């Protein structure tokens, strides 16, 4: 089949950028991104491109070029599903919060709802592609829902049919556009060779064919979970070593460099910090733990659970050492928080270590002044809402400008590695902080000598005193 019309269900961090890059590289294909969230769709359609719902370097330019030409954002599921030759399911797949598997298993309700919409509105033959990260064997569920509508009540075939493929997304936020333009690999799992070829042909418009791997559905679904698990495992590994460096006086960055220069190990994902955040690592590893237990592989489950445990431990350890260094109490002290997103170059705060750390600091009685170059005040309010609901007194405030954040602060904590934090004027900052002032740098982003030269105490992750 020659693909002329694509629909993507889910206009989020994956659906939006991925479809923008497909539209840019395939000018002959019409790409329609649909979502149930009217506000999100309106934001995608806003004339002011600085206010897109997602901040990703390079995204704005592609949307400007393609929107209204072959890239469209809409809430009209019926129309866009009906005319699609190929549909990506790119909806959120959060961890279940209740019932069987609560806290570990993936909640498939959005995937199931999307499959039902497709089964209802699709016409002719449609290729359905899992783009969301899904537990192994979810394609079976999708197939079962879709196939239920391909026969009428007398069990006679009606004029619609489906092929299901798995095509997990490996983009990282903050570098989504370059990851999509130049991926390490594209992975396609399926049983219908013709459908696989159709999807391969789309990617081949801008990606070398040798980078497009094909496999069966289950191997594809599992590969995505395992890629995330391995990445997260490296972060937990290096974070355990950061504590050992602090205890012994070794320097974490030197250790990471020496270890990572071994080509068998590789240099990426060896930055110690406040633990991994983001919407996926925790949920995907929790799901891996759940699946392993389900198959009776308890040692496997325990092994991966430890990666999650170390992540929480690192955050708890940081709060304890902040309190300890500040004479054992931060009650009524003012603390500047620099960075709230889960990593630099994104406005996403899902599972950001900043949320946990800020809540713990507030519980200890501190007053926070929070600055982030891309995260808006209303998002932080949402993330810290459990604190606000139970307390009358103001516990934190939003800071619009970086330098005002430090005013009268007893300490400044760097939680996200935004580029602008690397070149601050510490002479100016030292004049406005309350002495004795502290800097806690959980990302090793600030210049330790500049801070010390200006009479400020500093603790940096992975460095002993």
Residue 460 C-beta: closest distance to ligand NAD, Å = 28
- Binding status of residue 441 toward ligand UGA by CB under 6 A: no
Q: Is 76 helix (H, G, I), strand (E, B) or coil?
A: coil
Q: Which residues contact 152 (CB under 8 A, 6 or more apart)?
A: 158
Return the residue of 32, 114, 126, 133 that touches ligand UGA, per CB under 6 A. 133
Instruction: Give the footprint of ligand UGA on residues 177-236 (CB under 6 A).
Output: 228, 231, 235
Q: Is 122 in the site for ligand UGA (CB under 6 A)?
A: no
338 binding ligand UGA? (CB under 6 A): no
278 near ligand UGA, judged by CB under 6 A: yes
* Alpha helices (H) in 249-297, listed in sequence order: 252-260, 281-294
Q: Pairing between strand 438-441 and 411-414? A: parallel
Reference 364, options 401, 320, 310, 419; nearest CA is 320
Contact 413, 403 (CB under 8 A): no
The least CB distance from residue 132 to ligand UGA, in Å, is 10
Q: How many residues bind ligand UGA (CB under 6 A)?
A: 20
Interface stretch with ligand UGA, choices 19-27, 43-51, 138-146, 272-280 (CB under 6 A):
272-280
User: Which parts of 141-170 interact with ligand UGA (CB under 6 A)?
Assistant: 169-170
Q: Check residue 171 for interaction with ligand NAD (CB under 6 A).
A: yes
Residue 228 contacts which entry, ligand UGA, ligand NAD, none (Cβ below 5-8 A, type-dependent) = ligand UGA
Q: Choose among ligand UGA, ligand NAD, none what residue 198 binds, the Cβ cut-off being 5 to 8 Å by kind.
A: none
For 170, the token pair is 């490996």
Cα distances (Å, whole numbers) of residue 253 to 30, 241, 242, 243, 423: 47, 11, 9, 13, 19
Q: Binding partner of residue 270 among ligand NAD, ligand UGA, none, CB under 5 to 8 Å per kind?
A: ligand UGA
Structure tokens at 48: 């002011």
Q: Which is nearer to ligand NAD, 173 or 246 (CB)?
A: 173
Q: Measured between alpha carbons, how far is residue 34 from residues 1, 11, 91 in Å? A: 23, 6, 10
Work out whether strand 367-371 and strand 438-441 pair parallel, antiparallel, or are unpaired.
unpaired
The answer to whether the CB of 353 falls within 8 A of the CB of 387 is: no
Strand ranges for 351-395 from DSSP E? 367-371
Q: Of these partners, ligand NAD, ligand UGA, none, which one is at the site of residue 113 (CB under 5 to 8 Å by kind)?
A: ligand NAD
Question: Are residues 283 and 307 in contact, defined by beta-carbon separation less than 8 angstroms?
Answer: no
The DSSP code sequence of 298-358 is: HHHHHHHHHHHHHHHHHHHHHHHHHHHHTTT--TT-EEEEE--SSSTT----TT-HHHHHH
Q: Does 19 bind ligand NAD (CB under 6 A)?
A: no
Beta-bridge partners for 190? 165
Check residue 287 for interaction with ligand NAD (CB under 6 A): no
Residue 218: which of ligand NAD, ligand UGA, none does it interact with, CB under 5 to 8 A by kind? none
180 binds, options ligand NAD, ligand UGA, none, Cβ within 5 to 8 A by partner type: none
Closest CA to 232 of 303, 292, 321: 303
Structure token pair of residue 30: 């019409």
Using CB under 6 A as the binding rule, whether residue 172 contacts ligand UGA is answered as yes
313 binds ligand UGA, rule: CB under 6 A: no
Residue nearest to ligand NAD (CB): 12
The helix (H) or strand (E) run that includes residue 89 is strand 86-89
Three-state DSSP class for residue 406:
coil
- Give 163 or 233: the residue with its C-beta nearer to ligand UGA: 233
Q: Which two tokens mark 179?
A: 């990851």
Among the listed residues 8, 245, 280, 358, the single catalytic one is 280
Residue 280 catalytic? yes
Q: Which stretch binds ligand NAD (CB under 6 A): 34-42, 199-207, 229-237, 254-262?
A: 34-42
89 contact choice in ligand NAD, ligand UGA, none (CB below 5 to 8 Å, kind-dependent): none
Q: Does 271 bind ligand UGA (CB under 6 A)?
A: yes
Distance, in Å, from the CA atom of 341 to the CA atom of 360, rounded to the nearest integer, reads 17
Q: Which residue has the tokens 């990606």?
A: 207
Whichever of 344 and 413 has its CB closer to ligand NAD, that residue is 344
State which of residues 3, 8, 29, 35 lies at the interface with ligand NAD (CB under 6 A).
35
- Closer of 278 and 462 to ligand UGA (Cβ): 278
Q: Considering the rule CB under 6 A, would residue 279 count as an interface residue with ligand NAD?
A: yes
> What is the contact surface with ligand UGA in residues (CB under 6 A)?
133, 169-173, 228, 231, 235, 269-271, 273, 276-278, 280-281, 342-343
Active site residues: 280
> What is the contact surface with ligand NAD in residues (CB under 6 A)?
9-15, 34-37, 40, 90-93, 110, 113-114, 132-133, 169, 171, 173, 279-280
């Amino acid at each position: 089949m020659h693909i002329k019309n694509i629909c993507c269900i889910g206009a989020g961090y994956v659906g939006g950028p991925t479809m923008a890059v497909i539209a840019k590289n395939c000018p002959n294909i019409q790409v329609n991104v649909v979502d149930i969230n009217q506000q999100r769709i309106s934001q995608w359609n806003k004339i002011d491109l600085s206010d897109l719902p997602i901040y990703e370097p390079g995204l704005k330019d592609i949307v400007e070029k393609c929107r209204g030409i072959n890239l469209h954002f809409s809430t009209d599921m019926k129309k866009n599903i009906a005319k699609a030759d190929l549909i990506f399911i790119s909806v959120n797949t959060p961890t279940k919060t209740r019932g069987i598997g609560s806290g570990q298993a993936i909640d498939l309700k959005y995937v199931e709802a999307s499959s039902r919409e497709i089964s209802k509105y699709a016409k002719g033959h449609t290729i359905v592609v899992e783009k969301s990260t899904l537990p192994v064997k979810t394609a079976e569920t999708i197939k079962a829902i879709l196939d239920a509508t391909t026969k009428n009540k007398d069990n006679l075939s009606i004029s619609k049919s489906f092929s299901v493929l798995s095509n997990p997304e490996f983009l990282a936020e903050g570098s989504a556009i370059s990851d999509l333009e130049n991926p390490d690999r594209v992975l396609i799992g399926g049983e219908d060779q013709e459908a696989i070829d159709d999807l391969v042909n789309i990617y081949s418009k801008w990606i070398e064919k040798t980078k497009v791997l094909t496999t069966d559905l289950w191997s594809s679904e599992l590969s995505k979970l395992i890629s995330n698990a391995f990445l997260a495992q490296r972060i937990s590994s290096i974070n355990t070593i950061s504590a050992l460096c602090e205890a012994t006086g070794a320097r974490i960055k030197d250790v990471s460099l020496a270890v990572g220069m071994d080509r068998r190990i590789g240099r990426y994902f060896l930055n110690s910090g406040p633990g991994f955040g983001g919407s996926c690592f925790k949920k995907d590893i929790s799901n891996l733990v759940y699946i392993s237990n389900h198959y009776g592989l308890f040692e496997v489950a325990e092994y991966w659970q430890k990666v999650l445990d170390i992540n929480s431990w690192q955050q708890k350890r940081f709060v304890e050492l902040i309190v300890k260094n500040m004479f054992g109490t931060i009650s009524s002290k003012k603390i500047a928080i620099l960075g709230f997103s889960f990593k630099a170059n994104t406005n996403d705060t899902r599972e950001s270590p900043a949320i946990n750390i800020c809540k713990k600091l507030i519980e200890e009685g501190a007053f926070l002044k929070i600055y982030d170059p891309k995260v808006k005040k209303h998002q932080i309010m949402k993330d810290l809402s459990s604190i606000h609901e139970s307390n009358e007194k103001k516990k934190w405030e939003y800071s619009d400008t970086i330098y005002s954040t430090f005013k009268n602060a007893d300490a400044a904590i760097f939680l996200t590695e935004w580029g602008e934090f690397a070149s601050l004027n510490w002479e100016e900052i030292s004049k406005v902080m309350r002495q004795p002032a502290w800097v806690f740098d959980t990302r090793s982003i600030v210049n330790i000598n500049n801070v010390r030269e200006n009479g400020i105490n500093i603790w940096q992750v992975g460095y002993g005193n």
